[in-house]
Structure 1
Amino acid sequence: MKNRPISKIFLFSFLLQSVLATAQSGRIPVSSENGIVSSSHHLASNAGAKILAEGGNAVDASIATAFALAVTLPSAGNIGGGGFMIYRGSDGTETSFNFREKAPLAATETMYLDENGKVKNNTNHEGLLAVGVPGTVAGLWKAHQKYGKSDWKDLLKPALKLAKKGFPVNEDMQWFFEGLKEHQEEYASTAKVFLKKNGEIYKNGEILIQKDLFKTLKRIQKKGAEGFYKGKTAELLTDFMAKNGGIITDEDLVKYEAEEMQPIKGTYRDYEIIGMPPPSSGGVAVIEMLNILEGYNMTEFGQNSANSLHVITEAMRRAFADRAMFLGDSNFNPNMPLSKLTSKNYAEKLRNSIQMEIASKSDSANFNKAHLKHESKETTHISVVDKDGNAVSMTYTLEQSYGSKHVVEGAGFLLNNEMGDFNPIPGYTNAKGLIGTDPNLIAPEKRMLSSMSPTIVAKNGKTVLVIGSPGGRTIINTVLQVILNTIDYNLDIAKAIESPRIHHQWLPDTTYFEEWGFSPDTKRIYEEMGHEIDSRSTQGRAMGIYIDPETGMRYGAADSRSYNGAAAIEIQD
């Protein structure tokens, strides 16, 4: 940040450390009259804020932040995965970009099953058969071509610098390094990147340099999306696939396209909700739950009271049941009843089925053609607002932490294992876990259903909240609760994000409480209503920005559940 006489970046952290600080506290939001970037790594937030300070807009800053996360947050930041972006311009323009991964052309509905109809050796999650065609670079390129302001080449500069000169690894990465050390032969190309030449791990604070990733990012900088989907990078990727049992080909890469889509829209009280349409399930589910809860006086119930938690749980239960039955890739499911699911009349019927103080029961028998599966918690989210009021909410992922764990030999980036988000066994459901039905069965070029829920909230035509989170299926409920905390409980963005959370997803019929922050008496009353409860250490890592509709002041916060998260602000001299 030297030699910058015109502008500079201030990076907030709880301990007021340098840019190498760890996590921001999140208890106190940063504030600015100009732009703010909130992400899961302070160096990436700083990269995005740098672009804002140099005249870029929210789309530009989100792209720079995303590429920087591909270097500094290998567990989730990526160019080998995919995701979604919601954009809302200061002029009221509302659009979204779908760059979710696709199934390869050679994929089949039963590609993971053995002769007994069971998944072979977890192959839908492990190995190169689990890799979907990556979409991140195509999505960022498409968004820039439509709404970007800065030169594309400038947006790659922060990531290139971080890859070439390195960044200090942290404690949160140690578990991966230690596991990789034990499996160096199985993940040889990954070990070359993330372990030292002698096979030892990088210790906390040591500098990680990624030379091959630098070369890949340089090709993307020069040629845009073609620098990834054609030429040297594409050749490295497809050769790696062919040599190691994968099925992604040159044709898969050349045919991949990101989509610009109309967002899913709804209202809550006097606020507008702008969400992501399928193959994200988040936009539909969040709006459906808010429609149900609109009929209750949530403010009077009080935040995290037994009554509020009860009706929130019942809304979650119903929205996740509908998610299981109806949602998938819209290009393969043209008749999804989206208007019905997001309508006030439908919400009223669902609300009328809720009994106060008596829990409903989730019945897996209603879904005899579904399969239970796991959707990983390892994703990352970026929220951006620029000085002109343009806003971006973007969530992207590799699926499980570090994706497939396989780095493309010579290209330096990790591949996703998103094929595990499809339903691998047609025609099976039980009551123990997550659900998938016919709309989300595997097909060539189909995008797998996702819970990623980038969301923007507006009031009287002005953006007031930009929010999103990682967390697998919990993403939807994390976003819901931050919105409720902001609108109904009048919390500032930091407290709205920091508040304890619950999660219910229809099946299993259990509510998961974060293990801190809830009154024992509240939990006791909640259980007496008939709810089964369990606990988890944390839920989600939300990144948010709130804009005061009267003053225009922006307030940003990074969830303290994120080890390296921070909100960075732009300051013009």
Structure 2
Amino acid sequence: MACGVVASVGACKDSAPTEEPQPAADPATEVAGGEGAEAEAPLVMHLDPVGEPAPARTLVEHAEGSHGAVASAEANATLVGLEILEAGGNAVDAAVAVGFALSVTHPSAGNIGGGGFMVVRFPEGEATAVDYREVAPGAATADMYLDEKGELTNQSTLGAKAAGIPGDVAGFWYAHQHWGELEWSQVVAPAVALARDGWTLDEFHAEDLAYAAKRMDKAGFDESAAYFRKPGGVDYEAGEVWRQPALAATLQRIAEDGRDGFYAGPFAAHLAEEVRARGGIWTAEDLANYEAVERDPLRFDYHGHEIIAMPPPSAGGVVLRQILAASEVLNLRAKPWHSPAQVHTYVEILRRTYADRNLLLGDPDFVKIPMETLLDVSYIDDRVADIDPKKATPSDQVGAGVEIKESEQTTHFSVVDGSGMAVANTYTLNGGFGSKVVIPDTGVILNNEMDDFTAKVGAPNMFGLIQGPQNAIAPGKRMLSSMTPTIITKDGKLRAVVGSPGGPTITTTVAQIIMQLIDYDRPLLEAVRELRIHHQWKPDTVWHEEGLDPKLAKALEKKGHELGTRGWRIGHANCIAVDPESGEIEAVADVTRDGGSAAAY
């Protein structure tokens, strides 16, 4: 019988491994990575014998319970979170366990080589936010991605120079040490087991690994490409088991040594050395100096509900506040959902809020942000006063921009426990598989978050966003982000946990779900499934998923909007709702948009 994914390190060690194409390494000589037989002795980890791999999982779109719930982008990770709750852990314990598990089972976005944001709401109503966004290395300069002619190179997106100093491990450690209840090793152990014992690939993840290897081949990163293939350079297929002994050893070190297992000692020195050998600029001191930051979340009212959201350096909370406040000012909910008048007004709101986002926001520890003004209802009222209900405002009259180039490789998960504690967590590598570099002997995939800075004023980043000098590169600075982990309460009771990946589409996805829940009284499942619409100032295009009502499309074009169909999903929301009367907890995963899974008990 297959063992559960939540177990102490070494659980299932007496089980016979299922036949699969990747032979198990000798645990007596296991090196962090499986390939690094010549790695320095301090990197050697003695893992328990390889056990039975996690079986193929059935994706669950909707789950209900009364004690706790989890929704994430991958089924094994969701089950890890649920079993941590069942073992007596709280929402923070489960969130940390899910975060580490996703680094194993959702490597395009789940990670320990990137960063993110966590919003926590406690049962008594207090709330806090953990900023574990990456920071620029100490040797970073404002012009580091420009060539001799002052033009942008691709070094902010591809290769080790694109990587900021990761924050994941520090962020998870901070949250757990302050609010977790289980032992640290217990919440990291499931991820160790998944990496060591392996997990059965479905078609989507097998294709994802092949895609990663192909992209890395194209970039000339053969060593990184090999990490995602079987011995002999053959791609994995659905039904086969992927084991990651390098990552297992790294996670085991983190389980034993906590934060210092990643940011200090020989391991940190090894990371920095390998990054520099590949053209990056990390130092061991950069890693040692990294700290997660606890911040006060944004808290504001929307139609009688309290919205708890992430402050800068996330742009998400500010933009969400502006979108919702403008919707309230203009009484948007009086218009039928997805009617021409409702969508037109919504798009015009987005056109204005994204101009503010791109020009005025940055790291609050480095630049002055006019927060009081941006969040003030009178300012927002003035900002949308010129919206014409009959025609679109050309974006040239609002700002400037270029064609969107969207990456979805962020991931969001939501957790609620039986006490009413809730966690909304969004974290990322930025682009799919980050900078396309895997550090040997570690299983750590490097982010390419440096591209989220303003590398050149007036030039777009990989998301098509043109940003101002507020977000310029500086040593130790956090880059601006669109991540929008959000918690909703009403009358002091938890109502929902919402979030999504999707670059600039994150905040618009979250806003659309919140408006459906609050303004249109739609069930969470219906709100998550609904077709999504996005505008981001420029390009002057209303992006929508496939399936837009032709009558709505025609009406919008008549008002002067240019429409663009997204051939793939907008966002990937994994959310939880709580019935204020019964306390029933409902988890919904965005399964119709490339997977995810929900669980509750």
Scaled by the length of structure 2, the TM-score of the pair is 0.88
Counterpart of 2:427 in 1: which secondary structure? strand
- Could you tell me how far 1:179 is from its partner in structure 2? 5.6
Contact 1:381–1:470 (8 Å) recurs in 2? yes
**Matching residue's letter, 2:314:** S
Q: What is aligned with 1:20?
A: 56
| TM-aligned CA distance change 1:200 to 1:436, over 3 Å | same
**Aligned residue number for residue 69 of structure 2:** 36
SS of residue matched to 1:45:
helix
| CA spacing shift, 1:274–1:175, aligned 2, 3 Å | closer
Does the 8 Å CA contact 1:71/1:77 hold for their aligned counterparts? Answer: yes
2:144 to 106, 111, 115: 111
Shift of 1:427: 5.0
Q: Which of 552, 555, 558 does residue 528 from structure 1 map onto?
A: 558
The one-letter amino acid of 1:323's match is: R
Shift of 1:425: 1.2
Query: 1:131 and 2:163 equivalent?
Result: yes
1:92-113 Cα shifts (integer Å, max 9, x gaps)? 1110000000111111000011
Residue matched to 2:131 = 98
Q: Which residue of 1 aligns with 2:31?
A: none
CA distance in structure 2 between the partners assigned to 1:568 and 1:562 by the alignment: 17
Deviations 1:42-96 (A, max 9, x none): 1000000010001100001000001000000000000000000000011111100
Question: What corresponds to 1:15 in structure 2?
Answer: none
More moved, 536-545 vs 558-567: 558-567
State the one-letter code of the partner of 2:64.
S
1:199 to 214, 230, 233: 233
CA distance in 2, matches of 1:375, 1:260: 29
Whether the 8 Å contact between 2:332 and 2:345 is mirrored in structure 1 is no
Offset from partner CA, 1:297-353 (integer Å, 9 cap, x none): 4443111111110111111111101001110111111x2111211121112212322
1:452 aligns with 2:483: yes
Higher RCO structure, 1 or 2 (CA under 8 Å, sep 6+): 1
Separation of aligned partners in 2, 1:492 and 1:366: 36
State the AA in 1 paired with 2:316: G
Q: Which residue identity does 2:551 align to in structure 1?
A: D
2:158 aligns to what SS in structure 1? coil
- Structure 2 residue matching 1:84: 3-state secondary structure: strand
Matched, 1:64 2:97: yes
- Which of 250, 269, 281 is the matching residue for 1:235? 269
Cα displacement (A) at 1:233: 2.5
Q: Counterparts of 1:63-462 in structure 2 under 5 Å?
A: 63-120=96-153, 122-173=154-205, 174-178=207-211, 180=213, 184=217, 186-333=220-367, 335-363=368-396, 366=399, 376-426=407-457, 433-462=464-493
Contact 1:306/1:526 (8 A) holds in 2: yes
| Alpha-carbon spacing, 1:183–1:460, altered in 2? closer, same or farther (3 Å) | closer
Deviation, 1:372, is 8.4
Query: Contact between 2:114 and 2:134, CA under 8 Å: does it hold in 1?
Result: yes
* Contact persistence 2:586–2:600 (CA under 8 A): no
- Post-superposition CA distance 1:483-524 (Å, at most 9, x none): 0111111111111111001000001111101112x2111111
Specify the SS of the correspondent of 1:117: coil
Alpha-carbon distance between aligned partners in 1 of 2:57 and 2:277, rounded to the nearest angstrom: 41
Alignment coverage as a number of residue pairs: 549
Q: Which letter maps to 2:412? A: H
Question: 4+ residue stretches of structure 1 with deviation over 6 A?
Answer: 1-4, 370-373
1:531-572 per-position Cα deviation (integer Å, ceiling 9, x unaligned): 1111103101001000111111111100024433111113xx
User: Do the aligned residues in 1 keep the contact of 2:212 with 2:436 (CA within 8 Å)?
Assistant: no
Using the TM superposition, give the Cα deviation of residue 176 of structure 1 relative to its aligned residue in structure 2, in angstroms: 4.1
Checking the alignment, whether the CA contact within 8 Å between 1:371 and 1:437 is kept in structure 2 is no
The alpha-carbon deviation at position 30 of structure 1 amounts to 1.5
Identity of aligned residues (%): 42
* Aligned partners of 2:55 and 2:199 also within 8 Å: no
Q: Compute the RMSD of aligned alpha carbons.
A: 2.1
Q: CA deviation at 1:187?
A: 2.2
CA distance in 2, matches of 1:296, 1:480: 15
3-state DSSP of counterpart to 1:388: coil
Q: Deviations over 1:437-482 (max 9, x none)?
A: 0111111111111000000111111110100000000001000000
* 2-structure distance, mates of 1:521, 1:261: 45
CA–CA distance in 2 between the matches of 1:147 and 1:375? 35
Residue 172 of structure 1, CA deviation: 2.3
CA contact 1:266–1:342 (8 Å) conserved in 2: no
Contact 1:167 1:209 in 2 (8 A): yes
Cα distance change, pair 347–20 in 1 and its aligned pair in 2 (3 A): same
> What are the Cα deviations for residues 135-171 of structure 1, in whole angstroms up to 9, with x where unaligned?
0000000011111111111001110110011011232
Q: Which runs of 5+ in 2 are unaligned?
A: 8-53
SS, match of residue 124 in structure 1: coil
- 2:422 maps to a residue whose letter is A
Tell me: CA distance 1:225–1:429, structure 2 relative to 1, closer, same or farther (3 Å).
closer
SS at match of 1:358: coil
Assess, with a 3 A threshold, how the Cα gap between structure 1 residues 200 and 428 changes in structure 2: closer, same or farther.
Answer: closer
Distance 2:397 2:334 in 1: 34
Contiguous gaps of at least 5 residues in structure 1: 8-17
Alpha-carbon distance, 1:178 to partner: 4.9
**For residues 82 and 373 of structure 1, what CA distance do their matches in structure 2 show?**
23
Deviations 1:186-210 (A, max 9, x none): 3233234211111111111100000
